[in-house]
C-alpha cells in the first residue's frame, strides 16, 4: 500500500447507542444490516479470513483487512444493541416478507484466493453497504438510530476509499 502508516480508523466518536422506544419494524430493518449476506457479520468474517490469508503474501493489505474487520465488529455490536433495544431478538438472522426466518450462513463469506478478486468483492460489498445504510436512513425516523447509522456510513465510505487505494496499488 502507498502509505503503511495511514490511519485505518476515522477519529470521529460514535454516538451513544439508544432508541426512542421499542419498534419491531425498525428492528427488523436493522437485522438486514446485522446478519444478512451483505451484513456486518459477513464483513467481520470475510475481512478476518482475508487478513489471515494475506498475512505472508501482502502484510500491508492483511493489516487493512484486519482493521476493517475490527470496525465492522464495532458496527455489528452497535446494531445488535439497537435491535435489542427496539424489542427484537438480535439473533443472526433476517426475516423475509413472508415472515420466515433465514439464519446467517458461512457461505455468505467470499473465499476468493487472489487479492485482486478479494478487493473487487470487498469494494462491491462496501458499495452495497453504503446503499443499504442510505436506504435505512430514509426508512428510520428515530434520530438516535439515524445518528449511529450516519456514523457507520462514514466508516463504510472510508473503508471504500482504502480498498480502492489498495486496488490501485496492485
pLDDT in tens, 9-43: 899 999 999 999 999 999 999 999 999 999 999 99
For residues 68 and 47, give the distance between their C-alpha atoms in angstroms, rounded to a whole number. Answer: 7
The cell numbers describing 160, all together, are 471504500
Annotate the chain with three-state secondary structure. Answer: CCCCCCCCCCCCCCCCCCCCCCCHHHHHHHHHHHHCCCCHHHHHHHHHHHHHHCCCCCHHHHHHHHHHHHHHHHHHHHHHHHHHHCCCCCCCEEECCCCCEEECCHHHCCCCCCHHHHHHHHHHHHHHHHHHHHHHHHHCCCHHHHHHHHHHHHHHHHHHHHHHHHHHHC
> At 89, phi and psi to the nearest 5?
-70, 125
| Digitized pLDDT (tens) for each residue of the chain, 170 residues in all | 444 445 788 999 999 999 999 999 999 999 999 999 999 999 999 999 999 999 999 999 999 999 999 999 999 999 999 999 999 999 999 988 888 899 999 999 999 999 999 999 999 999 999 999 999 999 999 999 999 999 999 999 999 999 999 999 98
Task: Give the whole-angstrom CA distance, residue 44 versus residue 17.
Answer: 20
Dihedrals phi, psi of 105, to nearest 5 degrees:
-130, 145
Best CA proximity match to 82, nearest among 40, 46, 135, 47: 40
Amino acid at each position: 500500500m502507498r502509505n503503511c502508516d495511514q490511519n485505518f480508523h476515522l477519529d470521529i466518536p460514535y454516538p451513544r447507542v439508544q432508541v426512542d422506544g421499542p419498534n419491531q419494524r425498525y428492528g427488523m430493518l436493522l437485522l438486514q444490516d446485522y446478519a444478512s449476506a451483505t451484513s456486518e457479520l459477513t464483513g467481520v468474517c470475510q475481512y478476518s479470513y482475508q487478513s489471515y490469508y494475506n498475512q505472508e503474501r501482502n502484510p500491508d493489505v492483511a493489516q487493512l483487512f484486519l482493521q476493517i474487520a475490527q470496525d465492522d465488529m464495532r458496527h455489528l455490536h452497535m446494531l445488535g444493541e439497537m435491535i435489542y433495544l427496539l424489542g427484537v431478538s438480535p439473533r443472526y438472522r433476517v426475516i423475509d416478507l413472508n415472515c420466515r426466518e433465514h439464519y446467517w450462513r458461512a457461505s455468505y463469506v467470499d473465499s476468493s484466493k487472489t487479492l485482486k478478486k478479494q478487493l473487487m468483492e470487498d469494494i462491491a460489498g462496501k458499495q452495497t453497504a453504503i446503499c443499504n445504510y442510505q436506504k435505512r436512513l430514509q426508512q428510520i425516523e428515530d434520530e438516535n438510530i439515524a445518528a449511529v447509522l450516519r456514523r457507520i456510513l462514514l466508516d463504510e465510505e472510508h473503508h471504500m476509499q482504502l480498498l480502492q487505494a489498495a486496488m490501485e496499488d496492485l
